[in-house]
Structures are given as C-alpha cells and as structure tokens.
C-alpha cells in the first residue's frame, strides 16, 4: 500500500488482535481508558502486608492481559512476579482446584529456575515427590549425585502437556493429590518463602486466562474450593469471567477476596444512545498509534470505532480486515467500503450463532431495556453479542453494534409476519 504512512506488512502486523501489549509495545501503543481500575489494583498490591487475593474481570478482548503486562512492569522492582497463562497450560474441561494448584506450584519453580534463583536441593526433592505421587514421574533415588533439579525440569515439560491430555490423566492427578492437598499447599508455600528469601522480594502470582474456562468450572473453583485457591502465602491475581460474579449464589466470592476489579470497555455510546465522543476519540487513537494518521480515511475509522462495541480486540480485528480488503483492491487508503465489508463480515459471524429465541430476546431487550437472567442471556453476554457498559449510575446492556443491520432485518420480518394481510 503506497498511500499511507506505513507499508501494508507493518500495518498488518501492528493490527494483531491477539497480541497483548508488553515491553516496548506498551510505551508505543498503549491507550488508557476512563474508569480503569489499574491504579487501585496497583496500590492494593503494593501496600497490602498480607497476601492479597485479587479477582480481575472484564469482557474477553477488552485488554485485560495488556493491563496485567502493565502490572508486571510496574511491580517488578518490588515483587518476584510469576505470570501463569492457563490458556496454554491446562485443559479447561477437566481442570479442578487440585490440578490448578499443582500447576501453580510447578510454574513458580520453573520461573525461579529460569531466573536463576538458587534453591535448596530439598525444595526440588519435595516437588519431585509431588509429581511422583501425582503419577507424572517415576520415583528417583535420593542419592546425592542425582541432579533432582534437572530431573524435575524434565517433568515440567511433560506436565504442561499432561494437564491437556484428557480426562483420564487429569482424574489420576486429582485422585492421587486431593487427599494430600494440605501437603501440596505446604510445599507451594515453602517454595514461595524460599524464593522470596533468596530474592528479597515478595511474590506476586498472576493467573491469566481462567475467564475462558466454562462458567461451571469457574464456579467450582472459586465457590466450592476458593479457600484452597486463596491459601498460597503471596499476592495472587486471578482473571475470571465477569458473569461469574453476577450469579445470585456467587456473591459470597467477593467477600472471600481482598478486592475485585473489573476492566470496563471503552464506551462508544452513552446510556441515552448518543455517541460517547471521549471513548470514540480514544479508540481512534488505538488504531492511529499503530498505523499512523493517514492509512484509514476519517469515515472508515469512524465506522470501525462505532461498530467495535468498545472492545479493543474487535476494534483491531475490524481494522485489520478492512486493511486487507484495501490491499487486495490495491487502494491507496482504507476507505469506507472496506470498513463496511469488515463490519458485515463480523455481523455474519455473530449471526451464525443466533437462533430465533436469541433474536427475540435481543429485540425485546431493545424495546424494554430489561435483561432477564436466563441461560440464553448468559450465552449472549459470554459471546459478546450483548455488551455490558457502565457509568456513574451503574451498568447497562447493549446489543453489539455490528448486529444493528441484523436486528433491523429481524424486526422488519417480525412486523411483516404480525401484520394481517389485506
């Protein structure tokens, strides 16, 4: 593409909706938003004497991982930070509190060895015993010549795959370790204490990605077994789905943690349906920081921002789709037709997941403003077809703006079917 400030390849890679910002990219591309709880979360972790247990939620694709990367950078001088990405390490279908705590324990050990923390042989022996009991590794001789730390590192590589191999292996781990849960926690806390002592820093564990687990799995983890998950003697941030805390019987979860912070979406509309110009300006800057001012026409960028729903991932995805369309046509700039095609494509993707019942609920929501608590509602929120927004008066809900045309067509068809023929 010759007409823009950035060539197509660079722009394409800058518009990667699955790429959380980290390191130098934070200073280059990061845009803050109104209502961001980051300062409060940072203050809680920095000032809490006891191990703070924090829940962090927000819509999928809203930018939570980027905020956690900011957190890592902000506290690295004060804390030994362990970042645990559950998406790449566990099977969300079979994961339970026992497997999660085992994975956490070994993740801490792996982070310590990668950062060259010299741990006593006893720590490695304790953890190797743990994976042996779990059935992941064979028992080894306690001969002083055996490098038990090296043996444990070999098992760490196996474990990452083991927790994703299926229900059989996962159940074996749980069956073997659940009676020894207290022992597992004791070994984890010994490890945390030893690392903290060696580095003269408190430990912060960040557990990202649990919001992608089925809601029932999250309910079991935090409602039934929350006490175990809050037992590690360090700061922990768990990322959970916002819908987890909207259930009537899960309100007790909030009382068991130090704090719960929700990352709001950027807002593209106000409660009265008028455009939120502050939110739209910030979202435009998310794109122009990455690709420059002239690559997208003003109207194309306006359309993309308005139809993003305030979700950073959707915004970047729409922008990249429009960019590809312009490149295929050898256009000198991403224009409004390219933006509209990207929006149409996203709407079609949403529409494939919608049944008649879904469309009827969305239509009634638009006319009454009421969001009933049903399984259909949960599905629509989890898939971002319904978006939660928030202002000083509290939360409210809107249909994802990409679906505006789909809803217009549905309402027109329903009106036509209800109108008696002459």
CATH fit for domain 36-262, picks 1.10.3470, 3.40.1350, 3.40.50, 1.10.3210: 3.40.50
Higher per-residue pLDDT: 228 or 2: 228
List all residues 6 or more positions away from 25 whose beta carbon is below 8 Å from its beta carbon.
Answer: 19
According to DSSP, the residues that pair with 275 across neighbouring strands are 269
Q: What is the pLDDT of residues 335-367, one digit of tens each?
A: 999 999 999 999 999 999 888 888 888 888 765
pLDDT at residue 154, rounded to an integer: 55
Section 289-297 average pLDDT: 94
CA-based angle 214:305:297, to the nearest 5? 145
Which of 77-81, 89-93, 195-199, 285-289 has the lowest average pLDDT? Answer: 89-93
Q: Can you list the pairs that 30-36 forms with residues at least 24 positions away whose Cβ atoms lie under 8 Å?
A: 30/66, 30/70, 31/282, 31/285, 31/286, 31/289, 32/282, 33/264, 33/266, 33/279, 33/282, 34/264, 34/267, 34/278, 34/279, 35/264, 35/390, 36/67, 36/263, 36/264
d(CA 53, CA 51): 6
Higher pLDDT, 257 or 155: 257
Tell me what the mean pLDDT of segment 248-276 comes to. 88
Which pTM does this prediction carry? 0.88
> Tens digit of pLDDT for each residue in 23-63?
889 999 999 999 999 999 999 999 998 899 999 999 989 99
- Structural domain boundaries in the chain: 1-19+266-417, 36-262
- pLDDT band with cut points at 50, 70 and 90 for residue 145: very low
**Section 376-403 average pLDDT:** 86
Tell me how far apart the alpha carbons of residues 252 and 248 are, in angstroms, rounded to a whole number. 9
pLDDT beyond 50 at 161? no
Query: pLDDT value at position 410?
Result: 81
Mean pLDDT along residues 370-384: 82
Nearest-angstrom CA–CA distance, 59 and 57: 7
pLDDT tier at 236, thresholds 50, 70, 90: very high
Question: By 3-state DSSP, what share of the chain in percent is helix, strand and coil, each rounded to 5?
Answer: 60, 10, 30
Is residue 140 very low, low, confident or very high in pLDDT (cuts 50, 70, 90)?
low
């Amino acid at each position: 593409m010759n007409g823009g400030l950035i060539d197509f390849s660079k722009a394409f890679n800058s518009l990667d909706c699955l790429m959380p910002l980290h390191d130098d990219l934070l200073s280059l591309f990061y845009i803050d938003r109104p209502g961001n709880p980051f300062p409060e979360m940072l203050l809680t972790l920095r000032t809490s004497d006891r191990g703070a247990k924090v829940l962090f939620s927000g819509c999928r694709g809203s930018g939570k991982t980027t905020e956690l990367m900011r957190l890592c950078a902000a506290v690295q001088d004060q804390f030994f930070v362990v970042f645990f990405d559950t998406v790449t390490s566990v099977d969300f279908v079979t994961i339970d509190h026992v497997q999660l705590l085992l994975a956490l324990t070994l993740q801490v050990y792996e982070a310590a060895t990668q950062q060259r923390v010299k741990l006593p042989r006893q720590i490695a022996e304790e953890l190797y015993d743990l994976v042996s009991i779990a059935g992941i590794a064979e028992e080894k001789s306690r001969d002083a010549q055996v490098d038990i730390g090296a043996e444990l590192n070999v098992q760490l590589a196996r474990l990452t795959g083991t927790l994703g191999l299926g229900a059989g292996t996962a159940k074996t781990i749980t069956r073997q370790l659940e009676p020894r849960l207290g022992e597992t926690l004791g070994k984890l806390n010994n490890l945390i204490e030893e690392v903290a002592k060696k580095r003269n820093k408190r430990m912060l564990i960040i557990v990202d990605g649990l919001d992608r687990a089925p809601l029932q799995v999250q309910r079991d983890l935090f409602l039934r077994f929350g006490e175990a998950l809050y037992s590690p003697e360090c700061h922990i941030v768990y990322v959970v789905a916002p819908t987890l805390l909207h259930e009537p019987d899960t309100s007790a979860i909030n009382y068991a943690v130090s704090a719960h912070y929700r990352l709001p979406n950027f807002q593209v509309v106000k409660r009265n349906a008028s455009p939120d110009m502050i939110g739209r300006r910030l979202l435009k800057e998310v794109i122009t920081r990455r690709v420059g001012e002239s690559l997208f026409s003003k109207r194309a960028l306006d359309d993309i921002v308005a139809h993003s729903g305030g979700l950073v991932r959707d915004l970047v995805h729409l922008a990249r789709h429009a960019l590809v369309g312009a490149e295929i046509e050898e256009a000198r700039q991403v224009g409004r037709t390219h933006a509209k095609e990207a929006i149409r494509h996203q709407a079609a993707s949403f529409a494939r997941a919608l049944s008649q019942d879904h469309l009827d609920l969305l239509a009634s929501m638009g006319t009454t403003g009421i969001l009933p608590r049903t399984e259909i509602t949960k599905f629509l929120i989890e898939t971002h077809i319904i978006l939660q927004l928030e202002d000083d008066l509290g939360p409210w809900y809107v249909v994802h703006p990409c679906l505006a045309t789909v809803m217009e067509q549905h309402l027109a068809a329903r009106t036509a079917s209800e109108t008696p023929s002459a």
